[in-house]
Amino acid sequence: MPAIKPTRTKAATNTSAKNGPNQGPKPAASKSAASRSTASKPKAPKSTSKMKRQFPDDSLPRPAKRLKPISPTAPPLNTPPSTKLRIYVVGDGESGELGLGPHPIAGKKPTSVKRPRLNPLLPAATVGVVQIAAGGMHCVALTDDQQILTWGVNDDGALGRDTTWQAPVRDVDGGADEGDSEDEGDLSPKESTPIAIPRESFGALSGLFVQVVAADSASFALTSDGLVYGWGTFRSSDGILGFTTANALEANKTNNLKKRFQRTPTQIPFLTNIVSLAAGNNHVLALDTRGSVFAWGIAEQHQLARHVVARHRTAALTPSRVANLPPAKLIAAGAYHSFAVAEDGAVYAWGANGFGQTGVPSGAGESDAIIPTPTIVEALRGHTIRSIAGGEHHSLAATQGQVLIWGRCDDNQAGLDLSALPPSSLIFDSRSRPRILAPTIIPDLSFIYKVSAGIDNSFAITSHGTAYAWGFGANYRHALGTEENVAVPTLVRGEAKPRGERDIFTVAECGGQFSVLAGPGGVAGERPIMSYDGKVLAGPAGMEKYKLLLASRQELGQ
């Protein structure tokens, strides 16, 4: 993606001009009631002075006896994360995506960060972020006290709260301070500062929040009792479609465009017993306790695994179960494609496939190629997938310590020396240049337990708490301190920190032109801290548990 300056009216994860014609979607225009006991007519009070309570009018019935609430016997479906994280931001923040506020802090500008910078507005001890997600031009975070914080661009309601702000009038004739920055002065404090969505916006919640995810212009939250809430809007290649089917239809009928935006949280219908969410650019996946996968949003690239005719496209805004898919245990979404890992370990993919990003060879390299229904990725058979992620035209997965990558590879997305690969693993363009890669292991990467993907860049997180990055570098999005593309996985280093401290990264989230890394913090020389399932193994007991885990895997030859 070329290093173009982001605007408030474009989707941050649009297909770039370099993709050529017909290689992806057109750019988006912007970016039960409980039963109650019934009081029966009371008996006449006894004539005694020892009566405990007198009623002023014996003709009136006494109040119904208050019932003690019955504690649920079944455990919640989902448990909130509890590890408080340090939040590091990097890349472009000209629209408040980095959450550093509107003004410089300690002399550092909030609009451009070359290496991961600890966000001083999100201290782990007091704010306590436990999970975070990055969308196209916004972020959403969950805290340990059940607040949902949002920041970034709110033009389409992605922040789920009111950000109305009147910018101060500038005196163009008067002298401005030399230190004033035009872009910083334009930052809204209500968008560039992490602020909680009012609790009352969610109505009567019956559970706790356990997960948040972000699409290009929408955000979603999962609760412990398996319900899903969301806000924002979905964009098709023709512009804003809407957020729910009902609202989109009403907008079309009344020509009230405001109905296309959901600016406060609303419960997503027809979703119950959900245990996990995943979001692409403009579509969402949900996994329930039975292993069923539900999808909704934009269906233009068959990322919902169902055909939606144009005149009924608003129907795609209602969640529907993905057919022809066995029970799944893991889901993931790329920009315009989707993944599900079945209980038996098989990986299924569907959606856009012009660059082989699904891992299915059918149609790879052809204009507008799609995989319309869930299809097994044969190249991933035999691999135990722990984490999987999709970018715009490439994808990657973490196995038991290793990384596999596939899809577009002509802009350093692969993290490989392509010249060392056999031609059979590549598809070449008309000039005999490698352009598409079949699933291939990245050498020299080990102890990887989690991966994430941006438009054309990637991150791999190790069980030691370190992060590696590579790919397209415009706006410093790969967190490596340069805007140059980086061909191979390179260790991510944060900004300078006090002696004896070190950055521990257990999370990497990719936005449009920025990234967010997070971790619990640590002491220099302390390692490892992470198990293959992503659980923090802190302290001596955790270290011993980790050693036993490694030993058991080595015995199994894993």
In this predicted model, what pLDDT tens digit does every residue of 299-324 receive, in sequence order? Answer: 999 999 999 998 899 999 999 999 99
pLDDT at 35: 37
Model confidence over 244-272: pLDDT tens digits? 999 999 999 999 989 999 999 999 999 99
Residue 530 DSSP code = B
Kindly report the CATH number that applies to the domain delimited by 85-162+187-551: 2.130.10.30
Q: What is the pLDDT of residues 165-224, one digit of tens each?
A: 988 776 655 554 544 444 456 899 999 999 999 999 999 998 999 999 999 999 999 999
Alpha helices in 294-429 (DSSP H): none
- Residue 11 confidence (pLDDT) above 60: no
| Separation of alpha carbons 307 and 335, rounded Å | 18
Average pLDDT over all residues of the chain: 85
Task: State CA 357 to chain mean position distance.
Answer: 19
Query: For residue 279, how many other CB atoms are within 10 A of its CB?
Result: 23
- Whether 545 shows a pLDDT value over 70: the answer reads no
By the 10 Å C-beta count (0-12 exposed, 13-18 middle, 19+ buried), 192 is classed as: buried
For 161-221, give the secondary structure using H, E and C. Answer: CCCCCCCCCCCCCCCCCCCCCHHHHCCCHHHHCCEECCHHHHCCCCCCEEEEEECCCEEEE
Q: Are 398 and 409 in contact (CB under 8 A)?
A: no
CB 202 within 8 A of CB 231: no
Does residue 198 have a cis bond before it (omega within 30 degrees)?
no
Residue 558 has pLDDT above 60, yes or no: no
**What would the pLDDT profile of 478-532 be if each residue is shown by its tens digit?**
999 999 999 999 999 998 777 767 789 999 999 999 999 999 975 544 554 455 4
* Rg of the chain taking only CA atoms, in angstroms: 26
pLDDT in tens, 271-302: 999 999 999 999 999 999 999 999 999 999 99
DSSP letter for 226, please.
Answer: S
**Amino acid in the structure at residue 191:** E
The mean pLDDT value for 406-424 works out to 95
Q: What is the DSSP letter of 380?
A: G
Handedness of CA 199, 202, 207, 209 (dihedral sign): negative
Residue 415's contacts (CB-CB under 8 Å, 6 or more residues apart) are 403, 405, 442, 445, 458, 470, 471, 487, 488, 489
Closest-CA residue to 280 (of 336, 354, 341)? 336
- On whether the CB atoms of residues 260 and 240 are closer than 8 A, the answer is yes
- Residue ranges of the domains in the chain? 85-162+187-551
Predicted local confidence at residue 102, as pLDDT: 96
- Predicted model pTM: 0.82
